[in-house]
Structure 1
């Protein structure tokens, strides 16, 4: 990185200016959607709506914070030292990756040497795949000769590497002496990436709803419809990704042509500059988002009394406006659906059903296999203490990345099968459907093993001769419940995926023809509502 400090100095003002501009343009969307989401929240509270979706399996309570899911000794490339060092990696149930100097340092409570938030990352296990991906994100204007291109970016001390690529962080490099350890670590990292990407998105608070809707409207205003691959991580990360999406082309134009030296040195320096810029952006985003949220919370407090007292009037106005909008868009929407969407729905659904259903079937088979092994082991040993250990081990199955990975891989086939969606529906990011499905699979496995534990307790088995029969009965009962719940979840996945894939086509088609008319309707309704509120306020002042 030496010799490029001046380039970094240039990025600060550029990053601050772009961040301010993005936050300024994002804020009106967030304020509006915050009010809308808060109103929905109060409505749900008043109407006491409950989730009507039924399930047979018992829901596993959340794992205690700080629970260790995976730990191992690794060879890790220390970027600051340019050397491979023995480290101790720990993954807890927040799915971040902590890298300690030694196992002893971790056990003594020392701070990690590196703390990695893997949202948006990709895990690779071959040097060739890593080079292809990293080169895509280093648009080198100088180019390289054949000799430079052949040089390894990081020299590997062992045969089995694992690379964690991240879009705006410098990448992490690990090495193992044998393939089994490589497989365990890469599977654990994939779990971390998947959860880091989606655990924030599945929160159901009105603040999260408001944020995600604001991001959607902000991007639509710029002509971007459909899913965005950088909707990964928490609010700070997502909004920072939004800034970087606009900032990165400027950085490339401003800095890359001025960089000198060997290709790998320039590449390494570029990744360092991107990481430091992202750090500056995140810091500013965190401060400004915190101020914006506080402002919205204060505003929501002033609204709450009015919303609660005037909920009937608000709902009537909402329904009236919805009717006006429906009348405006109904005909062109129907036309778009008939011509551009409906003919393809059946084929899309068929492509979705195969991999998704086979993934859930694989989870069914894995649970069945693991319980059968418990039965066989007990029949051989007749040891109730060992039986309890085996049942306790079953509880960790959803977090056993290597055993669960074959289930997840079934769903990965969607990446290949849905390739034609890229041209037909402009869907470039199917990872969202894949990873969300895999999270559902893990959740159902958690519920299955938890339900098994609740229905079968080794310590309560008085007659050891009947234990194997009891386990078999409990297993069949759990599998029956699992099949029902997985069917319900799959329907939800298919419905959400079809909407995600096809809705952008309709939005883009309707935007040019319907948007002006809709804006006039909304503005007219807003003026009417404002006059009504003023009259109500004047009436209250007079009566007081």
Structure 2
């Protein structure tokens, strides 16, 4: 059999596996789409509003295309197997573009490489990168010490930055000094965080339907709780789901047949995984588009009935919810009392320390930056310079190096919550950490925006009172920050407790609830009469 024929057979196999996953996922999506659409119409009719109040002014979204980082640096071109000078540009869509030169970027040329960092990990140590890449290369042949000693990518400079991704080509960059390395790694970390979670922040009924369908699809296979591959957009998440099922078979089929030196086999394997992921994404995009169009058309046929019969629908829903509650209430309360409630206080204590420290660090950073503006004006008495300093303050939330110490405070949760792995089978706390860091950045954005709205250098007639005015505005913003910080932290703690403990409840009640799925969408835990100190913030986050 020729190489071309073998590749064709493999491609057809990948195509068939992807098609099977999409087919099995589709019923879950159709059901959840109908449920989410009905809830959307209900909210619209009842004019539900977000009751959560904020004191800080909400900063409007930044203009698309805003540049967050640009610099010339060394990038390892995998296709050329050599290091090349590239001009890297990162905009506020949090993707990474590598251009041949700065001139090519300025002339509007297409980037040489376009990197979507969702699901990635940023590493600044060659050793850490090699360990992680080895972990995802299950070599059946084994390795000699000589092979292991050889670097996967030879570094031309001392300070590397790696962007590791599970199914995409890894990106390697190199810098001559640690400051440049730190700046780029911090910006890249922001890109990963936003690429992972910005889609999940959307509150549309279509996003809600998709995420719940993913949850039910995995539950059907016995997987409860958090999943580390819920990162990126719909196409990426569903492609990750396909790869989770496809990859073990791919390893069994291909790895034992690979020949050559270990690094060559390793590089070839990562290339195969990347090509497979590309094929999967292509098919998933087509399948998901067709599925969504089908559900949208079906929703249009339902809308008139839903709007005219909403009262009857709600009465039926409430009656059925009562029946379900009567069935699951006793085992749910028993599970909560025995397996969850005794540990809530200790989990909450572990959560509160790092999360509160992170928000306190954000507050201190804002306070420090405004104090420096005051001190500079007292020295110069220059209104023009003051305006420049205030404009610069607006960029503080996007100054990755200055914000990084705030984010690092929250990273301590990785170590503090190790006990959750054995007790609640929670292996991935990254979601809580990165979501918290996104809230921290959002709050800093609102703080500097509120400061700008309350204080305008151009309107200051009496320069002698400027420093006093800035101080008063700063204290007012800090007071508003404290209120909003408290509100957001409560939300974080409640959602984290649900995420950590819900899998235990779901697994316990799985056999009880399974017969009920024939008749109704599973009801939420939050309506059960469980202990009052374990109250999920949002019932949509904790469906059985």
Instruction: Provide the TM-score with structure 1 as the length reference.
Output: 0.92
Which residue matches 1:530? none
Alpha carbons 2:443, 2:481 under 8 Å: kept: yes
Q: 1:204 to 1:423 in 2, by over 3 A?
A: same
SS at 1:318 equivalent:
helix
Q: 1:164 to 1:8 in 2, by over 3 A?
A: farther
Output one character per residue of 1:172-198: Cα deviation in whole Å (capped at 9) or x when no partner. 000000000000000000000000000
SS at 2:256 equivalent:
helix
Output one character per residue of 1:99-126: Cα deviation in whole Å (capped at 9) or x when no partner. 1111111111111000000000000000
CA shift, 1:73, in A, is 1.2
Q: 1:10 to 1:339 in 2, by over 3 A?
A: farther
CA shift, 1:10, in A, is 7.8
Q: 1:293 to 1:206 in 2, by over 3 A?
A: same
Output one character per residue of 1:263-305: Cα deviation in whole Å (capped at 9) or x when no partner. 0000000000000000000000000100000000000000000
CA shift, 1:323, in A, is 0.5
Output one character per residue of 1:76-135: Cα deviation in whole Å (capped at 9) or x when no partner. 000111110001111111100011111111111111000000000000000000011000
Q: 1:11 to 1:409 in 2, by over 3 A?
A: farther
Alpha carbons 1:121, 1:166 under 8 Å: kept: yes
Alpha carbons 1:12, 1:277 under 8 Å: kept: no
Q: 1:334 to 1:9 in 2, by over 3 A?
A: farther
Instruction: Provide the TM-score with structure 2 as the length reference.
Output: 0.92
Measured in 2, the distance between the counterparts of 1:8 and 1:59 equals: 57
- Report whether the alignment pairs 1:11 with 2:10: no
Q: 1:10 to 1:161 in 2, by over 3 A?
A: farther
Q: 1:12 to 1:371 in 2, by over 3 A?
A: farther
Output one character per residue of 1:335-371: Cα deviation in whole Å (capped at 9) or x when no partner. 0000000000000000000000000000000000000
Output one character per residue of 1:36-63: Cα deviation in whole Å (capped at 9) or x when no partner. 0000110010000010101100000000
Which residue matches 1:162? 161
Alpha carbons 1:165, 1:171 under 8 Å: kept: yes
Alpha carbons 1:8, 1:273 under 8 Å: kept: no
Alpha carbons 2:328, 2:512 under 8 Å: kept: no
Output one character per residue of 1:191-222: Cα deviation in whole Å (capped at 9) or x when no partner. 00000000000000000000000000000000
Measured in 2, the distance between the counterparts of 1:12 and 1:301 equals: 43
Q: 1:513 to 1:218 in 2, by over 3 A?
A: same
Measured in 1, the distance between the counterparts of 2:133 and 2:324 equals: 46
5+ residue gaps in structure 2? 9-15, 516-543
Measured in 2, the distance between the counterparts of 1:419 and 1:490 equals: 21
SS at 1:164 equivalent:
strand
Q: 1:378 to 1:9 in 2, by over 3 A?
A: farther
SS at 1:185 equivalent:
helix
SS at 1:73 equivalent:
strand
Measured in 2, the distance between the counterparts of 1:132 and 1:8 equals: 32
Output one character per residue of 1:447-493: Cα deviation in whole Å (capped at 9) or x when no partner. 00000000000000000000000000000000000000000000000
SS at 2:241 equivalent:
helix
SS at 2:87 equivalent:
strand
Which residue matches 2:210? 211
CA shift, 1:397, in A, is 0.2
Alpha carbons 2:182, 2:401 under 8 Å: kept: yes
CA RMSD in angstroms comes to: 2.2
Q: 1:10 to 1:284 in 2, by over 3 A?
A: farther
Measured in 1, the distance between the counterparts of 2:309 and 2:483 equals: 42
CA shift, 1:513, in A, is 3.5
CA shift, 1:9, in A, is 5.9
- Report whether the alignment pairs 1:438 with 2:437: yes
Output one character per residue of 1:413-438: Cα deviation in whole Å (capped at 9) or x when no partner. 00000001011000011000000000
CA shift, 1:70, in A, is 1.0
5+ residue gaps in structure 1? 1-6, 517-543
SS at 1:237 equivalent:
helix
Alpha carbons 1:175, 1:182 under 8 Å: kept: yes
Alpha carbons 1:11, 1:277 under 8 Å: kept: no
SS at 2:161 equivalent:
strand
